[in-house]
Amino acid sequence: MSVVEKQHSAEAMALEARYGAQNYHPLPVVLSRGEGVFVWDVEGRRYYDFLSAYSAVNQGHCHPRIVEALTAQAQKLTLTSRAFYNDQLGRYEKYLCEYFGFDKVLPMNTGAEAVETAIKLARKWGYEKKGIPAGKAKIIVCQNNFHGRTISIISASNDPVATENFGPFTPGMVSIRYNDLEALEAAMDEHVAAFLVEPIQGEAGVYVPDDNYLEQAHKICKAHNVLLIADEVQTGIARTGRLLASCGNCSCPKGQCSGTPQVKPDVLILGKAISGGVFPVSAVLARKEIMEVIRPGNHGSTFGGNPLACAVAMAALDVVRDEDLAQRARKLGEKFRAQIAEIIAETHWVRLVRGKGLLNAIVIDDTEDSSTAWEICMALKENGLLAKPTHGNIIRFAPPLVMTEAELEECVGIIRKTLLEFKKP
């Protein structure tokens, strides 16, 4: 048994505090194993995972098919860089384009990298295809967005925690209110290259826009020759009850979509669950006439499109299709919100529940600067369920999509028990 395996939780947390940058505030639980919807801490206690690594583990922890693909490819070839061809990348690119119905894909590693890639792509398209004067391109974004934490991306953020003392910032970012079509129309001019938007604002507290928001936003974009960029790093890959939260693509494989189609974005950003949480993988997909502005030397990554990532992502997306995870997320999500609504009537701690599929949140009846949501999450942990607050008084609930109805019922029972018994210290 290794030294790490012999550690107790307190020792592991002390090591992080001593040697790691304090850029996170994790719940005090040290996890060492995961399988399906469950994780275990170093003392052997089992928990339901209701965060799914911010929706990266939609297929469940350590899904055997994905792990098998990782292991098999790791024994053959892991990395060549893009200096050479490899036998997995072309297959993966074809697979991804056909799976999501796009012409071209640019493979990267992380969600933030993919967002940066999409911004670069939109700017270059704006100069070379739309005719925007050099150095004048604008990207419209929404307030309270979360697209990542690179300098360019936080230049589009209004979160003081993300932006304080990190300037100067990248120019050309125009911020408007989310779910506000009039604001979008007013921000349009001949210098706008793209509108970058989350179909649902997850990190902001699972804010779901009006039903026609994306459709009407796309019409506005088309009228002004502006690209609609959908950031589906968190909402994509079946999380919201359809393959993509935004896409009304009729070529999606059978069983992956449900509900009324909305729009097909001009540019699609994917990450997180595209690899089932097994390996860092992200991608930007677009039509040929958009992607063709990228030429050798314009953009790249040593690890982007590596053979290991390609094999893992194809296996992970096979699981989504073969196990009908979008349909399961839709069905379980409706059940979850209905049952949480019943609990709200029994307790004074929760104002409302909102979400789509298995991306949901409850709003705690306290101020954003209160500790109530954190303390409720601590109580949930003691009762065997892991969740995390966001924006102070919101708790996000996003379990792996492989969850069964019986498991969901048990989890709702844990939430009910916790809320009914909770007393603020």
User: Pairing state of beta strands 350-356 and 138-142?
Assistant: unpaired
- Vertex 200 angle, CA 175 and 177, to 5°: 25
Per-residue pLDDT band for 260 (boundaries 50, 70, 90) equals very low
pLDDT of residue 178: 98
Catalytic residue among 138, 272, 381, 388: 272
User: For domain 3-59+325-421, which CATH number applies: 3.90.1150.10, 3.40.50.2000, 3.40.50.10210, 3.40.640.10?
Assistant: 3.90.1150.10
Please give the Cα distance from 20 to 362 (Å, whole number): 31
Is the Cβ–Cβ distance between 117 and 312 less than 8 Å?
A: no
Which two three-digit tokens encode residue 126? 């704006």
pLDDT of residue 251: 44
H helices within 21-144, ranges in order?
Answer: 52-55, 64-74, 89-100, 111-125
**Would you give the distance in Å from CA 30 to the centre of its chain?**
23
Flag whether pLDDT at 273 surpasses 70: yes
Flag whether pLDDT at 305 surpasses 90: yes
pLDDT of residue 249: 44
Gap between the terminal Cα atoms of the chain: 39
pLDDT of residue 1: 35
Flag whether pLDDT at 61 surpasses 60: yes
When the pLDDT of each residue in the chain is averaged and rounded to a whole number, the result is 94
Q: What is the dihedral sign for C-alpha 63, 66, 69, 70?
A: negative
pLDDT of residue 255: 46
CATH 3.40.640.10 domain range(s) in the chain: 65-322
Catalytic residue among 231, 266, 336, 356: 231
Let me know if 381 is a catalytic residue. Answer: no
Is the Cβ–Cβ distance between 212 and 180 less than 8 Å?
A: no
Flag whether pLDDT at 4 surpasses 90: no
- Tens digit of each residue's pLDDT (9 = 90 or more) over 381-406: 999 999 999 988 999 999 999 999 99
Please give the Cα distance from 295 to 318 (Å, whole number): 31
Please give the Cα distance from 126 to 136 (Å, whole number): 9
Let me know if 100 is a catalytic residue. Answer: no
Which two three-digit tokens encode residue 278? 């097994």
Is the Cβ–Cβ distance between 288 and 49 less than 8 Å?
A: no
> What's this model's pTM, rounded to 2 decimal places?
0.95
CATH 3.90.1150.10 domain range(s) in the chain: 3-59+325-421
Give burial (CB, 10 Å; 0-12/13-18/19+) of 119.
buried
How is domain 65-322 classified at the CATH fold level?
Aspartate Aminotransferase; domain 2 (3.40.640)
Let me know if 231 is a catalytic residue. Answer: yes
Catalytic residue among 50, 100, 146, 195: 146
Of the listed ranges 168-177, 244-253, 258-267, the least confidently predicted one is 244-253
Flag whether pLDDT at 259 surpasses 60: no
